[in-house]
Structure 1
Amino acid sequence: MLRKRNRNRILSCVLSLLLVLILGSQTLGSPAQNTEILWDTYGIPHIYGKDTTGAFRAFGWAQMQSHGNLLLRLYGQARGRAAEYWGEEYIDSDRWVLTMGVPERARSWYEAQNSSFRSYLDAFAEGINTYAKENPDAIDDEVEVVLPVKGEDILSHLQRVLNFSFVVSPQRVAGISTPESKAGSNGWAIAPKRSASGNAMLLANPHLPWSDFYLWYEAQITAPGIDAYGASLVGIPVLTIAFNENLGWTHTVNTYDGWDAYQLELVDDGYRFDDKVRPFETKNISLKVRQKDGTLREEPLIVKSSVHGPVVSEKEGQATALRVVGLEQPGVLEQWWDMARSQNLAAFEKALQRLQLPMFTVMYADREGHIMHLFNGQVPVREQGDFQYWRGIIPGNTSKTLWTKIHPYQDLPRVIDPPSGWLQNANDPPWTTTFPVAIESDKYPSYMAPRFMDFRAQSSARMLDEDEKITLDEMIEYKHSTRMEFADRILDDLIPAARKYGGELAQRAATILEKWDRQANTDSRGAVLFAAWAQELDLDKAFSQPWSEDSPRNTPDGLANPQDAVKLLETVAQKVEKAYGKLDVAWGEVFRLKYGNVDLPGNGGDGDLGIFRVINFAPSEDGKFQPVAGDSYVAAIEFSKPVKAMAVMSYGNASQPDSTHQTDQLELVAKKQLRPVWHIREDVEAHLESRQVFSRMGK
């Protein structure tokens, strides 16, 4: 009897072990029988790939289902043929793309991919094409001209977005209109010593325009060797902000200079360089433009290039040439892919060390408790000058100013596991990522990054520094803080000045500002008045005490000219009262979360006011304001077992006109809430909207 019980016990153990092995084989690294997309109730695709190629195909398909019209239009623009497809309004865009040599370079980048990754790009394109073929009514007729999409189109789009929009702004260089507002971001990494649960935590919070190629797309990709959840910009075939069960990262836009404008001295048909006259390299391109009657006219485009790069302007005996980093590094997408596949800090850093990504700070946390801030980018090695010098027009007549190398990985500002236990970046330089200071600016070239800490970064650091043990819920609450650091700094001077120097209107304004909660919540009264006043200030002259490295979190401070400040307050108060009928109008009455067919009272505001919960508003026709940028994809992640994660996509996870997911998360934004992230299959199955199985797609 005893032997029988032992045999049963052994058999039970063996069966349990087999069950564990079977279940384990269905997670990371295991091939599924068929590639599937499980769509959850927020329209987020959870891709389970039979193999890596199948996962890329399915991701292409998914992006088309959610953003097909936008994706094809973006790829058409990246080809430099948008004017040919859609008319005159795209001429400037095409000129920029073709002058920068984007399509031609994309072809060479495509050939430079290793054979495996090239096949993944082809698979992503195949998924796009197959979706369009099988769902012709789902795509607008006018964008179908872009089909079929090829692997090189993906790389053209990548360059247009990354190198020629983020690294260098076409608006700044060539006067080409781009989506409103500036790109920004917040990022936090919290070590176990500062976490209430003892687990590391990560906050991902990019601030980008709510339109065009800046739209984020949330997804999960699971295939042999990868199980990652995160987001990517529409048209990009890999996750660019992501986490897996062991680690995660986010990006912030760093204070970084990866391009330079060189002033050339024209001589005859060439330019002077090192006391010699050099000829320009010249390409003649025919730019086709569709007319209203459907015919095409041709417009010549002559692209001149110096040793610095393409010429972007030419007049009165001078020309300006542009030099941009990253044009010889074709492995950006594969690096991001391998970052998402990494399972520990060593593997993650090995991917980072390739330096294929031309810019963006990396904020990192993992299950082992490590946190890291890397000032990532391809930073040119320069012989002279500080950051401000290289932001100006650079003399192009000498090789002394022509950089040809970039700093290796070990030269970049970086900190791992600082004594403070926390790291933050709110688009401030790396020197202020934590306190006590962990990265000393004096140890790096003065051109590496500027020195400042604005109000939003100060607010960010204050919230982290003041809480010794932060819970995940508290991190989410802090993320939604609308407190105006600027108001905390200046109202103790402005209100007494208004009492002393102001008339009846200034006195009423001072009373409202005294009662105001100094936040930009829906019901905050006084925020509209203060924000309108702050917007009119000349910030370079407003403070009696400028920002100081000796007191980076408490300066600038004080009113330089209290009487002028009060006079401006009276002028602004008159405008606010006239526009809204009262001085203490609620923030949410004026600032609306209006997007698509949804119109809700808003909260949050411009980061320049020191608001951590950034939403950039622009005037609308009704005299109020609506969002154009700011909080877009937000994710709060705790590296527990299993990982806990909450997220929101402000504008929803789709832009197709028939999708129910265009604005279905905006109410969460209005309520300052995140939703659970379903990244374990049984949770996805429990919140399933639809299932798509690909037994075979395309080839």
Structure 2
Amino acid sequence: MKKRQLKATVWRLSPLCALMSSAVLLSACGGGDTDPTRPETPAVASFAAEIRYTSYGVPHIKADDFKGAGYGYGYAFANDHICLFAQEVLTLRGERSRYFGDVDAKGVPITYLGQFGDFTPNLASDFFYKALMTPAQATALKAGAGPEIRELVTGFVAGYNRFLRDKGANGLPSDCKGAVWVKPLSEDEAYFRFSQAAMAGSSLQFIAAIGGAQPPLVKPAGAAPVLSARALKSKATQFAVLNSPLVRNTHWLQEHVIGSNGYGLGKGVTQSGAGMVLGNPHFPWWGALRLHQLHLTVAGKYDVMGATLLGSVVPLIGFNKDVAWTHTFSTDNRFTLHQLKLDPTDATRYVMDGVSKPMTQSKLTVQALQADGSVKTIERTMYATEFGPMVNDGATFAWGSSTAYAIRDANYSNYKLLDQALLNGKASSAETLQTALATYNAMPWVNTMAADKNGKALYANYSVAANVSDAQLGACVNSPTGQFLLATRGLVLMDGSKSSCQWTGAIPSAQRPFVLRDDYIVNANDSHWFPSEQTRLSGYPKIIATGPDAEGMVQGERTRTGHVQVLDRVAGSDGLTGKGFTLANLQQVYQKSRFFKAEMWLDEFLAATCAGGAPSAKDSKGNTVDLSKACGVLSIWKKTEGLVDPGSLLFRKLYELSGELKEASYWRVAYDPADPIKTPRGFNTSNTKAAMLLADAVQWFAEQKMPLEEVNARRQVIVRDSAPISIPGGRYTFNNVRGNLNAGLYGDPVYGNSYMQFVTFDANGPVAEGLLTYSQSTHMLSANFSDQTKLYSDIYLKGAKWPKLPFSEAEIKADPAYRTMSISE
């Protein structure tokens, strides 16, 4: 196809604005004879890129310099996500209330679906972002970035704004056509997006608690008591603490709900002797934590294909000609909470080492669209301490007259995130990738798994962790509440009345865990302790892995499955032909969707529970429930979460009701750190709770009017292009999908498997296959809105092939959907 040169056109407001007469629309459109939203065309033409598209709308950007690469990607990215990202930028600006309102006509706060599935009030969000995304933060982010990142950002912003000029307000997708909140992107806002991404595993969990943190209006007659050790022995008190809004908001991270799997397979376990990588992040299918496929090539300097978070300018997960890598969420504590002792005469002063100190005060204003169309100005003073901003959840972490709480976030000052990602992409081996990771030590919240063409595999955790020493953890987590949260959730609540409990920066790279091996490494969101059967990494700073995630603790379902899948493949005992991995049988191993805890427990449970001709059990309400059919369904279940495996949904419900079989009382053989794969195992026949929970599961199926033998294909369903699509995977298993349960359907909003890559190497370079489960574009009328999603389902239901990820020039140009365009200005 002949290349076409695009010419810049002026982007103007929709003519709809000229016809709007209501107060709300007039206030949104503004007045005057100039267009304040029109991007300026640069005075000097300095950007040029070629965008080559392959199947499923994947852009391969080719440029002579980093500015050009950013420019081409900014244009291609906007083409896929302009509406979603424009709204995210609006969020970063603290302007959601201005365009969408703060409360409805009944005074109920207006919320939006946050990055981790929480519904966040617009007003609290606006104050959160105005407080944190300041000009000083933008200056620090720019100053911290290297020259190549600065060039990429400059180019990305120019390319994004070029797309706006070319399309005009009326040329935008239907999702945001004519919307006045779609504005040009500034460089400050691009950097704010990086800071937001860095804090996804920390401060973003507490937007409402930070954005709404205000001192008590009236001094209470009596100070709220600090919980005592005796009080915390009460189950009711423990429940209240764990269900405090602030603690509850961390369950996505602390319980590994948002997770990932990653394999680095070395020459000892692959048939070819070359390395192999499975990349399998489990992330939301909505919002700014979506991933986007891309390939950036800067002549002679950089050539990486993979996926990145929306608004990031380089691949975060991917491969080059020599090495492939992926990431999983790490266990590091990136933030700490601090319990402040307040000055009894003023709740905006705190006592440090016996001295009363004033909190920093910042007066901020937010514009809020009202139900009658008017715009209201809301002023709020935001408070901060030397630890960081105040938090207030109105419950366990309420701001009272004697006690209040602040948060310190190591990733707020992480200015090297994108430089780190760029440097990772320049690695030429697993060894040099480890060196790159140690250079900046700036991966914000992830482990890294990798393998190279020579068959070396790497596990490394150079994630940012709060620079808290073991001595500080021992001395400063000194309240009963803090000790309870550390033990049960791994959350760190420190004494804020002592300067000795202050910290800055992150745990240095010299104290970070890594291992290079010739056989394999795996991580599935448990700690660094157990990356391969032959490796134990221990003795590292405790802040990296606290509480249930500490070194030597029981391993999760996905971690155990990850190990046993490799060991069975190497032994040839998994039912596939031969021994060792090929790209094809790695995909088969993954698609099998084993439920390993079921393999370790279910047969013995059924033998004990289903004996006799008419097995039954009382449910939790005291009703006698016939278990005959449930026993029959589970006895023939393959212990896999396949799309058409009867029994998978029934066991899933039992597993959910049991708390994922985490209690030791369910198991015949207790957990042994010397055997973290095969323990715990077996059913403890003295446990009567499990039978009751199976009865509860049977009753739940009856309430849902769902047969006990129902299969995932009919229940894990989303609708795209007005047609249902069955989504593979299990809620708790290595092959992962989680969806909102409504009327017996596990559907939108969905999170789980996202960017899937299977990568190895031959004499010509990388051999890669994979896809983006939710497809490239968020625009409903795009050809790439659901094409990969349908293929993803067909791979499991119809035996369709995983698509190739074309990397070389020959592969790109040979792609059946190849097309190219050049842009410059």
Q: Structure 1 length as normaliser, TM-score? A: 0.89
Aligned-partner Cα distance in 1 for 2:535–2:779: 47
> Do residues 660 (structure 1) and 783 (structure 2) align?
yes
> Structure 1 residues 138 and 400 mapped into 2: Cα distance closer, same or farther (>3 Å)?
same
- Report the counterpart of residue 324 of structure 1 in structure 2: 409
Q: Which runs of 5+ in 1 are unaligned?
A: 1-32
> Do residues 466 (structure 1) and 568 (structure 2) align?
yes
- Report the counterpart of residue 452 of structure 1 in structure 2: 554
- Report the counterpart of residue 523 of structure 2 in structure 1: 425
SS of 1:432 mapped into structure 2: coil
Is the Cα contact below 8 Å between 2:717 and 2:725 reproduced in 1?
yes
Range with bigger deviation, 87-96 or 387-396:
387-396
Regions of 4+ moved over 4 Å: 101-104, 141-144, 164-168, 171-181
Range with bigger deviation, 188-197 or 574-583:
574-583
Q: Structure 2 length as normaliser, TM-score? A: 0.75
Give how far 1:533 is off: 1.4
Is the Cα contact below 8 Å between 1:72 and 1:144 reproduced in 2?
no
Q: Which runs of 5+ in 2 are unaligned?
A: 1-46, 103-109, 111-121, 211-244, 393-398, 475-484, 571-579, 618-624
> Do residues 56 (structure 1) and 154 (structure 2) align?
no
SS of 1:169 mapped into structure 2: helix
SS of 2:321 mapped into structure 1: coil
Is the Cα contact below 8 Å between 2:431 and 2:516 reproduced in 1?
no
Is the Cα contact below 8 Å between 2:350 and 2:359 reproduced in 1?
yes
Is the Cα contact below 8 Å between 2:666 and 2:690 reproduced in 1?
no
Identity, % of aligned pairs? 21
- Report the counterpart of residue 356 of structure 1 in structure 2: 442
> Do residues 275 (structure 1) and 354 (structure 2) align?
yes
Aligned-partner Cα distance in 2 for 1:497–1:261: 47
- Report the counterpart of residue 30 of structure 2 in structure 1: none
Range with bigger deviation, 58-67 or 485-494:
485-494
> Do residues 502 (structure 1) and 616 (structure 2) align?
yes
Is the Cα contact below 8 Å between 2:58 and 2:294 reproduced in 1?
yes
- Report the counterpart of residue 46 of structure 1 in structure 2: 60
Aligned-partner Cα distance in 2 for 1:156–1:125: 13
> Structure 1 residues 429 and 178 mapped into 2: Cα distance closer, same or farther (>3 Å)?
closer
> Structure 1 residues 482 and 347 mapped into 2: Cα distance closer, same or farther (>3 Å)?
closer
Q: What is the aligned-residue RMSD (CA, Å)?
A: 2.5
> Do residues 639 (structure 1) and 786 (structure 2) align?
no
SS of 2:735 mapped into structure 1: coil
Aligned residues: 657
Q: What amino acid is aligned across from residue 555 of structure 2 in structure 1? A: M
> Do residues 169 (structure 1) and 205 (structure 2) align?
yes
Is the Cα contact below 8 Å between 1:102 and 1:159 reproduced in 2?
no
- Report the counterpart of residue 674 of structure 2 in structure 1: 550
> Structure 1 residues 391 and 648 mapped into 2: Cα distance closer, same or farther (>3 Å)?
same
Task: Specify which of 632, 639, 644 is matched with residue 523 of structure 1.
Answer: 644
Give how far 1:304 is off: 1.0
1:552-631 alignment, distance < 5 Å: 552-557=676-681, 558-559=683-684, 562-595=687-720, 597-607=722-732, 611-620=733-742, 622-626=743-747, 628-631=750-753
- Report the counterpart of residue 338 of structure 1 in structure 2: 423
Range with bigger deviation, 210-219 or 270-279:
270-279
1:528-543 alignment, distance < 5 Å: 528-538=649-659, 539-541=661-663, 542-543=665-666
Task: Specify which of 372, 395, 413 is matched with residue 458 of structure 2.
Answer: 372
- Report the counterpart of residue 234 of structure 1 in structure 2: 310
Give how far 1:190 is off: 0.6
Range with bigger deviation, 346-355 or 520-529:
346-355
Task: Specify which of 185, 190, 198 is matched with residue 149 of structure 1.
Answer: 185
Aligned-partner Cα distance in 2 for 1:220–1:396: 46
SS of 2:379 mapped into structure 1: strand
> Do residues 648 (structure 1) and 648 (structure 2) align?
no
- Report the counterpart of residue 396 of structure 1 in structure 2: 496
> Structure 1 residues 116 and 581 mapped into 2: Cα distance closer, same or farther (>3 Å)?
closer
1:210-249 alignment, distance < 5 Å: 210-224=285-299, 225-249=301-325
Is the Cα contact below 8 Å between 1:53 and 1:123 reproduced in 2?
yes
1:687-698 alignment, distance < 5 Å: 687=815, 689=817, 691-697=819-825
Aligned-partner Cα distance in 2 for 1:83–1:244: 43
> Structure 1 residues 184 and 169 mapped into 2: Cα distance closer, same or farther (>3 Å)?
same
Q: What amino acid is aligned across from residue 369 of structure 1 in structure 2? A: G
> Do residues 138 (structure 1) and 263 (structure 2) align?
no
> Structure 1 residues 349 and 494 mapped into 2: Cα distance closer, same or farther (>3 Å)?
closer
> Structure 1 residues 405 and 660 mapped into 2: Cα distance closer, same or farther (>3 Å)?
closer
> Do residues 128 (structure 1) and 226 (structure 2) align?
no
Aligned-partner Cα distance in 2 for 1:569–1:171: 39
Give how far 1:404 is off: 2.3
Give how far 1:127 is off: 0.4
Aligned-partner Cα distance in 2 for 1:93–1:374: 34
Aligned-partner Cα distance in 1 for 2:528–2:146: 34
For 1:561-589, what per-residue CA distance to the aligned partner results, in whole angstroms no more than 9, with x for missing partners? Answer: 53221122112212213423532122322
Q: What amino acid is aligned across from residue 384 of structure 1 in structure 2? A: Q
